[in-house]
Amino acid sequence: LFEDALESLDDDDDDDDDDDNHQKSHLNKPSLSKVHDESTIDLVQSLVECQKISQLIFENRLNEALRKTKAQENRSLYHSLLHSSISFMQAGMTFNQDDIEATIQALRHTTNMSKKYEPYRPWITFSLTSKPVMTE
């Protein structure tokens, strides 16, 4: 599932004009997995969008990147994490109290979102009494 998304990102060396054609051709390409459902398309789309926003950072268009991620931070965990990272960079560069508070809120939002997607694992025990003790 994730390998399919990485393949599409590796193949994405075309210009911005060809991005739409590339995404359409990727959807028609056979994937490594036999089942190519809607969640895979959402993953690919999220990763491509985050890659484009990351490119804005490298082009020193930080305000535009921050606006785009703020608008989409509830869309996926990737968007939320990217928004938190950009907010953190802005707070670190400006030392503005409002930016620092916005970063804290963004990090809390990302943490809550990651907890929501974390699988429940009842088989892991967290008991201190079950710890083996060495005696002689």
pLDDT tens, position by position, 92-112: 999 999 999 999 999 999 999
Cβ atoms of 57 and 65 within 8 Å: the answer is yes
Q: Between 84 and 12, name the one with better pLDDT.
A: 84
Q: Which of 58, 112, 61, 59 is nearest to 84 (CA)?
A: 112
Average pLDDT over the chain, rounded to whole? 75
Q: Do the domain assignments include residue 94?
A: yes
Cβ atoms of 83 and 70 within 8 Å: the answer is yes
Q: Do the domain assignments include residue 125?
A: no
Q: Do the domain assignments include residue 82?
A: yes
Q: Do the domain assignments include residue 128?
A: no
Q: Between 129 and 120, name the one with better pLDDT.
A: 120
* Confidence band for 55, pLDDT divided at 50, 70 and 90: very high
Q: Do the domain assignments include residue 33?
A: yes
pTM of the model: 0.60
Residue 90 CA to residue 5 CA, distance in Å, equals: 29
Q: Do the domain assignments include residue 126?
A: no
Give the residue-averaged pLDDT of 76-101: 95
Q: Provide the domain limits for residue 101.
A: 2-117
Give the residue-averaged pLDDT of 71-76: 91
Q: What is the pLDDT of residue 24?
A: 44
Tally of domains within the chain: 1
Residue 34 CA to residue 76 CA, distance in Å, equals: 24
Give the residue-averaged pLDDT of 82-88: 96
Q: Do the domain assignments include residue 136?
A: no
